[in-house]
Amino acid sequence: MIASGQIPRLSMMAILVAVGVAVGFLLVLVPNVEGISAVSFFAGYQLGAGAGAVVGGLAMGIFSMFNPLGPPLPQVLVAQIVGMGIIGAAGHIWGAFALKIRFAGFLAGALGVLLTSLYGILADYGFAVSIGRWEDPIPVIAAGLPFSVIHIISNGLIFGGLGAFLVKRRVDGGE
């Protein structure tokens, strides 16, 4: 049974999962640019690490399974879900420091680069596992790197803008 006090939180999580999936479909035709990670990061910032991880994992899982280009291999899907969960949880960690440091937007951008790199490595490792290269995944991960560059740069910019916006909103009194 769900406690009545949890309903607003669960509702917000469901809304953010839906927003993440919608943003995923909105940007599906833009190669290597996505917004699910930004929504997941925001969910972690707003609702906590666990909720951010759940929102990120669910949004990525739903989007990937219904992707018009087709669902990924199971190993890649698991890696995507785990990677997006990590990004969601990291939003909470960033939020703990955001108002205490001078360049919170820059830190969010740097985290966007780092987390997107980790996500890419996990997804590429999932692909390596799916083709039987789990013992020597480095060539597979290296082959995926050129495709990840745009993703990494765009998420760095998106996270930096989102981080600066969230801190300004908080400092200016918005909640």
Place of tokens 């990677």: 83
For residues 116 and 155, the answer to whether their CB atoms sit within 8 Å is: yes
Mean pLDDT of 151-167: 94
Mean pLDDT of 56-79: 96
Express each pLDDT in 90-113 by its tens digit. 999 999 988 888 899 999 999 999
Which two three-digit tokens encode residue 77? 């899907």
CA-based nearest residue to 121, from 69, 93, 70, 86: 86
**What is the gyration radius of the CA atoms in the chain, in angstroms?**
16
Name the CATH topology of 4-171: Arp2/3 complex 21 kDa subunit ARPC3 (1.10.1760)
C-alpha 100 chain-centroid distance: 23
For residues 76 and 67, the answer to whether their CB atoms sit within 8 Å is: no
Q: Given a cut of 60, is residue 175 above it in pLDDT?
A: no
Q: What is the pTM of this model?
A: 0.93
Mean pLDDT of 22-48: 95
**∠ CA 58-64-68, rounded to 5°:** 140
Q: How far apart are CA 119 and CA 22, in angstroms?
A: 20
Q: Given a cut of 70, is residue 13 above it in pLDDT?
A: yes
DSSP state of 6: G
Mean pLDDT of 25-34: 93
For the chain, how far is it from start to end, CA to CA, in angstroms?
30
